Amino acid sequence: MDAYYFTEMPYPYVPEAVEDAYGTSRVLLPNRYCDPRLVADLYNRYLDEYEYADELGLDLMLNEHHQTLTCLDAVVPISAAALVRRTRRARIAILGSPLPHRDNPVRVAEEIAMLDCISRGRIISGFVRGVPTEVQPSNAHPVFTRERFEEAHDLIVKAWTTPEPFNWEGRFWHLRYVNVWPRPYQQPHPPIWITGSSLESVTWVAQHQYTYACFLTPYEWTESLVNAYRRVCQEHGYPEPPPDKFAYLALVYVGETDAQAQEDGKGLLWYLQRRRHKWLNLPPGYVPPDQMAKAYRGVGGKPYAESWEGLQAKGIVIAGNPDTVIERVRYLHERCHIGHLLMMMQAGPMPTEKVRRSMELFAREVYPAIRELGVRQEARVS
Amino acid sequence: MAAATGAATTVELDGVSLELFTGGSGPPLLVLHDYEYLNAWQPFLAALAADYRVLVPSHPGFGRSSLPPTFDAIDDLAYFYLDLLRAQADPPVRVLGLGFGGWIAAEMATRCTHHIARLVLVDAVGIKVSDPTTRDIVDHFVIGPEEYLRLSWHDPALGTARHKLAGLGELTDEELVTLLRNRQSTALYGWKPFLHNPKLRSWLRRIDVPTLVLWGESDRIVTPAYGRVWADAIPGARFVTLPAAGHYPYLEQPEAFVAAVAAFLAAGAPTAPSAAH
């Protein structure tokens, strides 16, 4: 089991009343509420925390979102670049590049290859379709996000693995000379991870034998996706997928005691409590009409409205003293075959001292007990 | 009034299984519907069917019409409906384009008017008028149905009763899914550039059939000022506004709407447009 430290780099200074007035923390909330002097402090604080995670022996995960106070990491190659020269050991999982929303996939191939070379092969290249509210900032066509994702992916992998110029005249992108310098440090290319929460996405990921990452899904949902991945492997005659093929993102807080973790860990809920604008979250064609109808009827979706206790029961929140967290991670691994634990350990106004203490407890007391989980199982399989 | 109900038929053309409501008798009148709209045999169609054989297709990807995998741009709809007109070629067809349908009708008429007798554009989207920071067309994808009614109806209370919109009032599952599929197809054809073709305005001068541009005075989806730009760009076009009506004047003021359209459609044989407006 590998563990990755993650923060969305929130901007926690906008009053709730302002968010309420605009009905959202994204896209429509005016950037006049963003003070760049405070942002400078935040960036440096968050990057320092990432560096500390590297010192503690954790791997790192970064993501990007656009036009939102929930995530100041708007350009993930920039935060990754800021970290590759200041860290020495950690793998950096970029999860990920929002492919349908990028104007030129070859540029993504170049960014990742360059980071991979500077870091001497410490990059994990995640590709994401982008949440619904990425549609408005990029203005990418919401009806074709899956098709654009797949074409961009095909183009990037070909750009990484073709040792000479080639021509690409596809449906969405036209490039007549693709010949990226540098090539990636890891050959043939960095590990590819894909996020998802649906049977369509898991099928595609399993067919490509990439690592599938579930974010904040309840146990039974994660388990059914993992089992779907396994079924695709069986159908195609691929080997039983090892835990390395599965990543899970949870909100994680380790305290000195269960009581303290239950109290301080609630700071992680900030992310789930942001205002969700009904119509921004339902761009046309993002999901098929029958699924969209369910969303209009208020059926389904991720359990953002769950209670703190409910989120823990579903595995979305892992909080407690080191022993409790070990037990929860072990259960997650055994039930859902997870080999990579992605840990959102900071959210909203959670102070750096608490975040660092939680990281320390995880690294020193939890990690040694769970480190070998996936490895042993994988060894048994092979 | 004849043809209180239009018969729904299915026409196979260009790989599309097309839902087509037809009713009435007389010269053919093609009615192209709008977005945010559930295509059905509305009272204004029944009224027009007194004098015309009214043909009301659901656009490919809308209603019960299929969507071929190659259709993803307004050109596809323009060529498709030109093919449908060619199949009705004798006599030439009057074309009534409503909103999004007005955009399709204009794209057809700038390409070829061999099979078009007269053209009526009603509260049409499709052209860019203002500077880059001004939206000419309301972005209905990020507002709820109540706000949409407020902008698209002179009397939103009337709209609540007459206009089926996703997220508003009681809808059957089939109606809701159809409205959401219509919405997806609207995005398919009109996401970027947003519900317009940057080149269309300059080609409107090619339209050489009598044209009426008809606008709801209270339309705030696309305003009457925007409508006037349409009329100015089409040689000889007349511009008429309807009081106490918004973006859907045929639903809000069906009698006044039908009177204005019928008067224009019935006027004499097709005449050559004047050289300048």
pLDDT tens sequence across A157-194:
999 999 999 999 999 999 999 999 999 999 999 999 99
Q: How far is B131 from chain A (nearest CA, A)?
A: 18
Q: How far is A360 from chain B (nearest CA, A)?
A: 44
Three-state secondary structure call for residue A209: coil
Which residue in chain A has the smallest CA separation from B167? A296
- What confidence category does residue B4 fall into, taking pLDDT thresholds of 50, 70 and 90? low
Nearest to B184 among A136, A289, A296 (CB): A289
Q: Please, are residues A74 and A66 in contact by the beta-carbon 8 Å criterion?
A: yes
Contact B144 A279 (CB under 8 A): yes
A285 touches chain B (CB under 8 A): yes
Contact B142 A289 (CB under 8 A): no
On chain A, the residues whose CB falls within 8 A of the CB of B65 are none
Residue B3 lies in a domain: no
Q: Does position A117 have pLDDT exceeding 70, yes or no? A: yes
pLDDT, residue A360, reads 98
pLDDT, residue B91, reads 87
Q: Does position B270 have pLDDT exceeding 60, yes or no? A: no
| Mean pLDDT for the stretch of residues A137-160 | 96
**Residue range B114-168, pLDDT digits in tens:** 999 999 999 999 999 999 999 999 999 999 999 999 999 999 999 999 999 999 9
| Mean pLDDT for the stretch of residues A366-378 | 82
Best interface-test mutation with B: which of A134, A281, A296, A297 has the largest number of B CBs within 10 A?
A296
Residue B234 lies in a domain: yes
**Residue range A292-346, pLDDT digits in tens:** 999 998 865 555 678 999 999 999 999 999 999 999 999 999 999 999 999 999 9
A296 touches chain B (CB under 8 A): yes
Q: How far is A33 from chain B (nearest CA, A)?
A: 21
Which residue in chain A has the smallest CA separation from B193? A139
Q: Does position A131 have pLDDT exceeding 80, yes or no? A: yes
Nearest to B188 among A28, A136, A143 (CB): A143
A118 touches chain B (CB under 8 A): no
Contact A278 B176 (CB under 8 A): no
Nearest to B142 among A141, A280, A296 (CB): A280
Contact A284 B187 (CB under 8 A): yes
On chain B, the residues whose CB falls within 8 A of the CB of A280 are 142
Q: Count CA atoms closer than 13 A to A368's CA, side-chain side.
A: 6
Which residue in chain B has the smallest CA separation from A141? B191
A297 token code pair = 């009827």
A181 touches chain B (CB under 8 A): no
Complex ipTM tops 0.95: no
Contact B177 A290 (CB under 8 A): yes
Q: How far is B178 from chain A (nearest CA, A)?
A: 8
Q: Does position A143 have pLDDT exceeding 80, yes or no? A: yes
Contact A296 B184 (CB under 8 A): no
Give the CATH number for residue B217.
3.40.50.1820
- What confidence category does residue B211 fall into, taking pLDDT thresholds of 50, 70 and 90? very high
* Residues of the domain holding B130: 8-267
**Residue range B34-89, pLDDT digits in tens:** 999 999 999 999 999 999 999 999 999 999 999 999 999 999 999 999 999 998 76
Contact B142 A143 (CB under 8 A): no
CA dihedral of residues B110, B113, B118, B124 (deg, nearest 10): -20
Residue B69 CA to residue B63 CA, distance in Å, equals 17
- Secondary structure of chain B: what % helix, strand, coil (to 5)? 35, 20, 45
Residue A216 CA to residue A347 CA, distance in Å, equals 14
Number of domains in chain B: 1
Contact B187 A292 (CB under 8 A): no
Residue B98 CA to residue B104 CA, distance in Å, equals 9
Residue B274 lies in a domain: no
Q: How far is B139 from chain A (nearest CA, A)?
A: 11
pLDDT, residue B272, reads 43
Q: For chain B, how many residues are written? A: 277
| Mean pLDDT for the stretch of residues B97-123 | 97
On chain B, the residues whose CB falls within 8 A of the CB of A284 are 141, 180, 183-184, 186-187
Q: Please, are residues B67 and B80 in contact by the beta-carbon 8 Å criterion?
A: no
Q: Is the dihedral of CA A112, A115, A119, A123 positive or negative?
A: negative
Residue B277 lies in a domain: no
pLDDT, residue B275, reads 41
Best interface-test mutation with B: which of A287, A292, A299 has the largest number of B CBs within 10 A?
A292
Q: Does position A379 have pLDDT exceeding 90, yes or no? A: no
Q: Please, are residues A217 and A302 in contact by the beta-carbon 8 Å criterion?
A: yes
Q: Does position A377 have pLDDT exceeding 90, yes or no? A: no
- What confidence category does residue B2 fall into, taking pLDDT thresholds of 50, 70 and 90? very low
Q: For chain A, how many residues are written? A: 382
pLDDT, residue A302, reads 56
B124 token code pair = 């049409």
**Residue range A62-108, pLDDT digits in tens:** 999 999 999 999 999 999 999 999 999 999 999 999 999 999 999 99
On chain B, the residues whose CB falls within 8 A of the CB of A139 are 191-192
Which residue in chain B has the smallest CA separation from A296? B167
On chain A, the residues whose CB falls within 8 A of the CB of B184 are 143, 284-285, 289, 292
Task: Give the percent of chain A with pLDDT over 70.
Answer: 97
A142 touches chain B (CB under 8 A): yes
Q: Does position A378 have pLDDT exceeding 70, yes or no? A: no
Q: Please, are residues A240 and A226 in contact by the beta-carbon 8 Å criterion?
A: no
Please count the residue pairs, one from chain A and one from chain B, whose beta carbons lie less than 8 angstroms apart: 49
* Pick from B108-122, B168-182, B211-225, B262-276: least confident: B262-276
pLDDT, residue A301, reads 56
Task: Give the percent of chain A with pLDDT over 90.
Answer: 92
Q: Please, are residues A84 and A54 in contact by the beta-carbon 8 Å criterion?
A: no
CA angle A275, A279, A281 (to 5 degrees): 65
Q: Count CA atoms closer than 13 A to A160's CA, side-chain side.
A: 26
pLDDT, residue A121, reads 98
pLDDT, residue B3, reads 47
Contact B144 A141 (CB under 8 A): no
pLDDT, residue B22, reads 95
Chain B interface residues (partner A, CB cutoff 8 A): 141-144, 166-167, 173, 176-178, 180-181, 183-184, 186-188, 191-192
A292 touches chain B (CB under 8 A): yes
Which residue in chain B has the smallest CA separation from A145? B188
| Mean pLDDT for the stretch of residues B91-114 | 97
Residue B1 lies in a domain: no
Q: Does position B230 have pLDDT exceeding 60, yes or no? A: yes
Q: Which of A195-204, A244-253, A279-288 has the highest mean pLDDT?
A: A244-253
CA angle A232, A235, A236 (to 5 degrees): 85
Residue B273 lies in a domain: no
Look over chain A and give the mean of its residue pLDDT values, rounded to a whole number: 95
pLDDT, residue B174, reads 96
Q: What is the CA radius of gyration of chain B?
A: 17
Residue B246 lies in a domain: yes
pLDDT, residue A304, reads 67
Q: Does position B21 have pLDDT exceeding 80, yes or no? A: yes
B126 token code pair = 């499709």
**Residue range A225-268, pLDDT digits in tens:** 999 999 999 999 999 999 999 999 999 999 999 999 999 999 99
Residue B237 lies in a domain: yes
How far from each other are the two terminal CA atoms of chain B, in whole angstroms? 36
